[in-house]
Structure 1
Amino acid sequence: MSSSLKSPPRRPPANPLSGVRPAERLCHTTGALLVLSGLVHLVVFAVDGGPWYGPVSWRKPVTFGLSFGLTLIAVTWVTSYLRIGERLRTVLLLVFAADCVVEVGGITLQAWRRVPSHLDMETPFDTAVSMTLAVGGGVLAVLLTVFAVASFRRRPAGPVGMALAVRSGFAVLLVALVSGAAMIARGVVLVRTGHQEAAYESTAPLKPLHGVSLHAVLVLPALAWLLSRTSWSEQVRWRTVAVAAGCYAAAVAAAGVWAVLTYR
């Protein structure tokens, strides 16, 4: 077939908010609603009070709403730079968005019921919620791993430094997935062996590592995009992204050391 008949590779728009497709718009809207949910529950916490830390607190719907909302928005945008089939990307994003809603919804439901959302096997209903959240976490891990692999199989498109930012962001995000899986796995083992309270406390050492590594996929590509709007040379922009990626990796490593030192 002549090269003139081949479809040119999809090039993301210079402005990340222009040329948005319906599926992307749905994901952006869903992410914004999840962020709004987190902010609303921050107000609920300010009015209702109660502990900020612990397995039963308003912290969880706040932090999970904000984190899942921002991550959904970030992944929707960042994957526009990946060289994968548009239909496959759309399906993956829609499943990802639905899973984010399930995760935040289950956590929020349990917060209003004043019971733990994770590792709670006290009643059949609580067990069902906990297992749903665990399975949902597994689905999220698979979807994000697929995107991460795609970013390394073919060089992402975009301005100078974007490929490095996207690949670094997904690589760090995989650390968040592994640390999250480790928290759930250890907690489940403790619950199954009759150590319910210890299960809730066991996640503390890994939470900083999980939190720090979760948003590199937004921070680094956003930096690369902002630098593309400057008059700096391509070499300076690439080096800036590289330094930022190195600093982020150092922060993740420090959080990992903290997890090891505080592990009990």
Structure 2
Amino acid sequence: MSWVAGLLQAKKRDLFSFRLIGIFLVIEVLLITVQTWRSEPSHFNTNSALNSSIQFFTELLVTISVIVIADLTFRSFGRLTVPADMKLAVRGGMSLLLAGCLIGFLILGIGYHQLSIDRAPETYGTRGVLKYPHGIPLHAIQILPLISWLSERFGHETRTRTMLVQTGLAFVIAFTGFGLLQTFTGHSRFESWAGLYLYWGSCIVIIGLWLVSTWSHLMSQNVPSSAVCDVE
């Protein structure tokens, strides 16, 4: 995220915010590690005063970190002096990162509800894994800029790089939807069922049509490989 911040218009609070989020995330990982070392669940663990305190501080640290992530995400839709494909990669990646964080809050609420009715907080329905859809979109901010960077290194022009980033973005969104579908229909991660085939069939058709339309639009424009988007 420091790399993303370097692309944005600087604000006075940035240095403090980034140091804060770095420290908070290290502490969060440390608390989870401590719980693992104690052979205690790292989430939804309120069976003692110590565990409740660790759970509270972990959630507090994550919440503050998400506020910083949200700020970066909204600012990424401002002025970015990078090529069109990298702009899409940054904005799409940050949006999906924020979406993953918000899904995390959703499953946290569901987990506590499950606890209140004496059900396992990690499972939804019969076999749905609540944390599954949370993790999928978090890595888009790494994947999409990597696609943009690699395609540039291989000498592809802007329209091709944009197409590749759009393809990556579409599939991350599709896999996030897949995770949500599997979880909230009570199916395990890779369990096959009729609705799953219908979902992926629809995704492939929609993504295919979208990519054909996008490619036609890009081909109709004379976009040079060195194009840089400076749109406000």
Q: Tell me if TM exceeds 0.5.
A: yes
| Residues 173, 217 of structure 1: 8 Å contact kept | yes
- 1:131 and 2:53 aligned: no
Cα distance between partner residues in 1 of 2:79 and 2:180: 29
Give structure 2 stretches of 5+ with no counterpart.
188-232
| Residues 83, 157 of structure 1: 8 Å contact kept | no
More helix as a share of residues: 1
Cα distance between partner residues in 2 of 1:155 and 1:222: 21
Q: CA RMSD in A?
A: 2.1
Cα distance between partner residues in 2 of 1:171 and 1:84: 19
1:113 aligns to what?
Answer: 38
- 1:80 and 2:6 aligned: yes
Aligned length: 186
2:123 aligns to what?
Answer: 201
After TM superposition, list the pairs within 5 Å mapping 1:14-25 onto structure 2.
Answer: none
Shift of 1:170: 1.1
Shift of 1:194: 6.0
Q: Deviations 1:213-238 (Å, cap 9, x if unpaired)? A: 11001110122122222322122112
| Structure 1 residue runs of 4 or more that deviate by more than 4 Å after TM superposition | none
Cα distance between partner residues in 1 of 2:7 and 2:152: 14
Higher relative contact order (CA 8 A, sep 6+): 2
| Residues 212, 251 of structure 1: 8 Å contact kept | yes
Question: Which of 152, 158, 162 matches 1:228?
Answer: 152
| Residues 103, 133 of structure 1: 8 Å contact kept | yes
1:156 aligns to what?
Answer: 80
What TM-score, normalized by structure 1, do the two folds share? 0.65
- 1:248 and 2:172 aligned: yes
Instruction: Give aligned-pair identity as a percent.
Output: 24
SS at match of 1:161: helix
1:219 aligns to what?
Answer: 143
Cα distance between partner residues in 1 of 2:123 and 2:157: 49
| Residues 151, 166 of structure 1: 8 Å contact kept | yes
1:89 aligns to what?
Answer: 14
